[in-house]
Copies of this chain bind each other. A is one copy, B any other.
Amino acid sequence: MNIPEKMKAAVLMAPGTLEIKEIITPQPGPADVLIKVNSCAICGSDVSLMARPWPGQPPFGSFIPGHEYSGVVVALGETVDEFRLGDRVAVEAHYGCGRCLNCRRGDYTSCLNYGDLSKGHRANGFTTNGGYAEYVVNHINTVYLVPDNISLEEASLVTNAGCVLYGFESLGGLVAGDSVVVMGPGPLGLMSVQVANALGADQVFLLGTRPERLKIGLEAGADHLVNVRETDPIAFVKDRTKGKGADLVIETSGSEEGPDLALHLCKRMGKVLLIGFPHRPVPADFGFMGLNNIHLYSVRGEGRANCRRAISLMKQGKIRARPLITHSFSLSEITEGFRVFNEREGGAIKVLIMP
């Protein structure tokens, strides 16, 4: 294919400041593919790392963020026969380093060489260049073929869904027949509702504060909507679980009350999964946790190849990305896209940048 020598990309120049630059189009290494980006979804972590660089992030002026993207394979590394030119693909952010003990045991999202590029670590959009660009290079370990019945726009949300599925895999066991509380009707929360349903949850409670967002939860398959400003969520959930609390609680809101409320919504011997996190240390009642033998899991990223599961569930129509995509902007409009996302203008949930 005809690949230009230079491409346009949104480079992080200063806190919160992206500029569209012309830079050299990257070339794939031996086990990489070059992807022409179709769409890259804005994620809350983009906002965070653009405001204040995360550990391992390249310096201002040299870094292209964006980790939830999809596109078309336009060049192959010399050893690659897993993909073909023209393949429509989704990605996961984390390659890892391939040589620390965590990567060796399959826990590459928790790479012990995180951010050490000299050791081979790559996490596109975090420590290496990401998807707010016309082209991006991915190791094949982070690339997934997209079936025909999924659009590339939807495929941008595979990373998001993969993260939720990695959370469910981390919990262990079946979800079928369990009651599940999801806290926070943001993108991860709405996806969690869908995944809980897809895995056979008996009933799903969605907790939030904004009525219009909760309503979208209904379409996502929540059985109960709880506006925590109006209703005591603990009483509500206990009332519908024979006084026991939920088998699983998924906290995605990242609010300061989140972890402690999650523990109190959980039944004895139940499990809590944290996907959203408060920005600073917050109090939690560990005594209650212990008295009720609750285990508290956290996940970072879309680990253990769960993007594979995400794509399959999308293909089967069991999780739907389309309703979460509310806006799209061209690459040159990226700053406006971030504004809309941050201000939730027009009920913005997922905002796509289309390079």
A173 to chain B, nearest CB (A): 7
CA distance in complex: A283, B286 (Å): 10
Determine whether the beta carbon of A104 is less than 8 Å from that of B106. Answer: yes
CB-CB < 8 A to A114: which residues of B? 268
Partner of A298, one of B105, B279, B290, B316: B290
Q: How many copies does the complex hold?
A: 4
Determine whether the beta carbon of B309 is less than 8 Å from that of A174. Answer: yes
CB-CB < 8 A to A141: which residues of B? 98-99, 104
CB-CB < 8 A to A297: which residues of B? 295-296
Determine whether the beta carbon of A281 is less than 8 Å from that of B280. Answer: no
Determine whether the beta carbon of A286 is less than 8 Å from that of B313. Answer: no
**A residues adjacent to B (C-beta < 8 A):** 31, 79, 82, 98-99, 101-102, 104-112, 114, 118-120, 140-141, 165, 168-170, 172-174, 176-177, 198-200, 202, 244, 258-260, 267-269, 274-275, 277-287, 289-301, 303-305, 308-313, 315-316, 318
A258 to chain B, nearest CB (A): 8
CB-CB < 8 A to A101: which residues of B? 305, 308
Determine whether the beta carbon of A283 is less than 8 Å from that of B281. Answer: yes
A159 to chain B, nearest CB (A): 15
CB-CB < 8 A to A286: which residues of B? 258-259, 274, 277-278, 281-282, 284, 298
Given A165-B176, A200-B198, A318-B200, A110–B292 Cβ distance below 8 Å?
yes
Determine whether the beta carbon of A176 is less than 8 Å from that of B294. Answer: no
A314 to chain B, nearest CB (A): 10
CA distance in complex: A172, B297 (Å): 14
Given A106-B105, A174-B165, A283-B283, A300–B309 Cβ distance below 8 Å?
no
Determine whether the beta carbon of B293 is less than 8 Å from that of A298. Answer: yes
Determine whether the beta carbon of B289 is less than 8 Å from that of A274. Answer: yes
CB-CB < 8 A to A274: which residues of B? 286, 289-290
Determine whether the beta carbon of B309 is less than 8 Å from that of A290. Answer: no
Determine whether the beta carbon of A300 is less than 8 Å from that of B296. Answer: no
Residue of B nearest to A119 (CB): B79
Determine whether the beta carbon of B312 is less than 8 Å from that of A176. Answer: yes
Given A281-B260, A286-B278, A312–B104 Cβ distance below 8 Å?
no
Residue of B nearest to A287 (CB): B277
CB-CB < 8 A to A169: which residues of B? 173-174
A328 to chain B, nearest CB (A): 27
Partner of A176, one of B283, B291, B298, B313: B313
Partner of A300, one of B104, B111, B279, B293: B293
CA distance in complex: A111, B190 (Å): 32
Q: Which of A82, A294, A295 has the largest count of B CB atoms less than 10 A from its CB?
A: A295
CB-CB < 8 A to A99: which residues of B? 31, 82, 140-141
Determine whether the beta carbon of B177 is less than 8 Å from that of A198. Answer: no
Given A198-B200, A282-B286, A318-B200, A300–B308 Cβ distance below 8 Å?
no
CA distance in complex: A252, B167 (Å): 27
CB-CB < 8 A to A119: which residues of B? 79
CA distance in complex: A295, B303 (Å): 14
